[in-house]
Structure 1
Amino acid sequence: MTAPTGTGMPVVTVTLNPAIDQTITVEALKPGSVHRAKAVRHNAGGKGVNVASCLADWGVPVVATGLLGAGNAAPFEALFQAKGIADAFLRQPGETRVNIKIADLAANDTTDINLPGLSAEAGALAKVRETVRSLAEPGTLVLLAGSLPEGLSNDAYAVLTAEFAAAGARVVLDSSGAPLAAALASTGALPFCIKPNRHELEDWAGRPLPTDTDLLEAARGLQRRGVAVVVVSLGADGALFVDGTRALHGRLPPVNALSTVGAGDAMVAGLIAAFQQGGDLDEVARLSVAFAAAKLGCFGPNLPDPAIVRSLAAEVVLRWC
């Protein structure tokens, strides 16, 4: 398994509600107490931006689009320029939201506080749709990622998925809650691939899914309805991968994590990179789990050298379900 050379059809990532991630590291988080931060980092973020950043590190050509506040666009512009990501974001008046992430070293976990974002209008969404339509060719991988900004209806992803699929694009959707439910309930085309975590899949199913059998049954149900590939991320336990004929579980042994922020987005990047390479389900599982594990050793939406990712991919343990 080798990283691509950076040639070929670009991936298009769509982030309608991006954010600047402010990660504050503390020794131990104690609610109601005063804390002295050990470190503070600011990264241009949002699911689609994070995925684009990881894909660029792997050598995949990427066009990033969506809605961006003109007042604080500089961190995003710097990221895109540094990584060679084509910037097709529509600038809007105002500032992109800030997401505060408190990294607790003692508990080895992260507490998220997501602030409100910009309000979007139908006209702005129409311009993003035009941008994607101009880029999407048959087979193009288009990622729709993250939450929806205020002003857009919950069926926005359902509408976009149907429109881009009609143009021949393979749509990967990484969202949750009402926007995900609306996209999966659509009478139009469903996404080519989705990647909920256990909680998000339970939220969609409306019931607990405590066992592997429960997860597999829910994923199989979505696959039968028209989602070609269903991936359920399970944190340190890896992920479940289901396509039309097979299902498998992939995982790596626990690794030391500098930052868990964006690990799920890195997994999505690995999925897309494997799809871009024409990989089968084994390769999709290996590369996406390796991307997520490799990201744990990096701050921000970054991957280490591709050789490290390839080494991790070779170590992924696969179990057929």
Structure 2
Amino acid sequence: MMFVTLSLNPAIDQTVELDELRPGAVNLARGALRHAGGKGINVAACLADWGAAPIVTGLLGEANDAPFNALFFARGIDDRCIRIPGETRTNIKLLDLGRGDTTDINLPGTAPGAEALDAALAALHAAIRPGSIAVLAGSLPPGLPAETYAELVALLSEQGARVVVDASGAALSAVLAAPVLPHAIKPNRFELEGWIGRPLPDQAALLAAARALVARGIALVAVSLGAEGALFVAADAAVRVHPPSIAVGSSVGAGDAMVAGIAAGLGEGVPLEALARRAAAFSAAKLQEAGARLPGRAAVEAIAATIHVEPLA
């Protein structure tokens, strides 16, 4: 199975560890870690740890691409990203060790030139084969219209790919308003509420919103709920996964790991319950690791065996 990810606005994630985050005060850090990141990059890294051989496409700043080059080499990831002048943006992740949560400070990135963008999209289309799983994930760089992912969904679907989208805001709204819909999406509660325009305070409301999207033609809607688990909704079934109680190293990239688990499940054609368990296990396993990394296939499968999957009526 061929997995292809697109990262038009990747980032180097700098995670700063704090005993306690105190806004408006001087904070003394325990330490800091830097990882090549961005949603599409993270998804590819987790798929590689699972044993797949993903292809990454997109844009990288040539001035600081060393962390990405090292990641791709170490994980056996096929790098087809286009280098552009300047640096890839750096995102700051403030990890409050006392609370166990992370505050993100994400920079906007650099507007790409038309020639570089065309080259990146050409590389994406060249990598696609019928049956490929194509993952479009993350924010769009400045200057690109919100309809960019929606247009790509139509083009990639025409090539025979099953497209998984993990986007938010205007980009997600454009995808969901387009005549050709993706095969799967993974909004979190807040992204789904932002699209639908009202609070979704409980499971019944979330399930109804997800089922409405499935009825419009999306094969799989996964709604991530953080520590509360996730809903996985298809045309013939719906389930809720309850994550295991584990020690959390960093939540950075946990949602991207879930997308990787969804892609892996789709690629292997597993039933909904098994796909949901695997996606939740990817996410839980990532919580034990720094950066976009899984502890290995056997460890992920062991976590999956502990995850409770609840069928929903």
What is the TM-score of this pair, normalised by structure 2? 0.98
5, 23, 30: which one aligns with 1:13: 5
For 1:98-148, what per-residue CA distance to the aligned partner results, in whole angstroms no more than 9, with x for missing partners? 000000011111111111211023433322222122121111000000000
Q: Which residue of 2 aligns with 1:5?
A: none
266, 275, 292: which one aligns with 1:275: 266
* Residues 1:171 and 2:147 are matched in the alignment: no
Please say if residues 121 and 152 of structure 1, whose CA atoms lie closer than 8 Å, have aligned partners that are also in contact. no
Q: Secondary structure at the match of 2:29?
A: coil
Q: Which residue of 2 aligns with 1:214?
A: 205
**Structure 2 regions of 5+ residues with no counterpart?**
none
Superposed, 1:252-267 pairs within 5 Å as 252-267=243-258
Amino acid of the structure 2 residue aligned with 1:212: Q
CA 121–184 in structure 1, closer or farther in 2 if over 3 Å, else same: farther
CA 121–153 in structure 1, closer or farther in 2 if over 3 Å, else same: farther
Please say if residues 129 and 159 of structure 2, whose CA atoms lie closer than 8 Å, have aligned partners that are also in contact. yes
* Residues 1:37 and 2:29 are matched in the alignment: yes
Amino acid of the structure 1 residue aligned with 2:195: W
Q: Secondary structure at the match of 2:24?
A: coil
89, 103, 106: which one aligns with 2:81: 89
For 1:51-75, what per-residue CA distance to the aligned partner results, in whole angstroms no more than 9, with x for missing partners? 1001000001100010111111111
Q: Secondary structure at the match of 1:23?
A: strand
124, 134, 146: which one aligns with 2:126: 134
287, 291, 304: which one aligns with 1:300: 291
Distance in structure 2 (CA, Å) of the matches to 1:127 and 1:229: 30
Q: Which residue of 1 aligns with 2:16?
A: 24
| Identity value in percent | 52
Q: Which residue of 2 aligns with 1:197?
A: 188
* Residues 1:49 and 2:41 are matched in the alignment: yes
Amino acid of the structure 2 residue aligned with 1:59: G
Amino acid of the structure 2 residue aligned with 1:119: A
Q: Secondary structure at the match of 1:38?
A: strand
Amino acid of the structure 2 residue aligned with 1:181: S
Q: Which residue of 1 aligns with 2:174?
A: 182
Supply the RMSD in Å over aligned alpha carbons.
Answer: 0.9
Please say if residues 177 and 204 of structure 1, whose CA atoms lie closer than 8 Å, have aligned partners that are also in contact. yes
Amino acid of the structure 2 residue aligned with 1:36: L
68, 72, 80: which one aligns with 1:80: 72
Amino acid of the structure 2 residue aligned with 1:170: R
Amino acid of the structure 2 residue aligned with 1:116: P
**Structure 1 regions of 5+ residues with no counterpart?**
1-8
230, 237, 247: which one aligns with 2:238: 247
Distance in structure 1 (CA, Å) of the matches to 2:269 and 2:81: 28
Distance in structure 1 (CA, Å) of the matches to 2:296 and 2:184: 27
Distance in structure 1 (CA, Å) of the matches to 2:17 and 2:279: 27
Distance in structure 2 (CA, Å) of the matches to 1:67 and 1:223: 32
Please say if residues 224 and 231 of structure 2, whose CA atoms lie closer than 8 Å, have aligned partners that are also in contact. yes
Please say if residues 98 and 114 of structure 1, whose CA atoms lie closer than 8 Å, have aligned partners that are also in contact. yes
Distance in structure 1 (CA, Å) of the matches to 2:235 and 2:56: 30
1:308 Cα deviation after fit = 1.2
127, 130, 155: which one aligns with 2:147: 155
Distance in structure 1 (CA, Å) of the matches to 2:10 and 2:158: 26
Distance in structure 1 (CA, Å) of the matches to 2:79 and 2:206: 37
Please say if residues 147 and 176 of structure 1, whose CA atoms lie closer than 8 Å, have aligned partners that are also in contact. yes
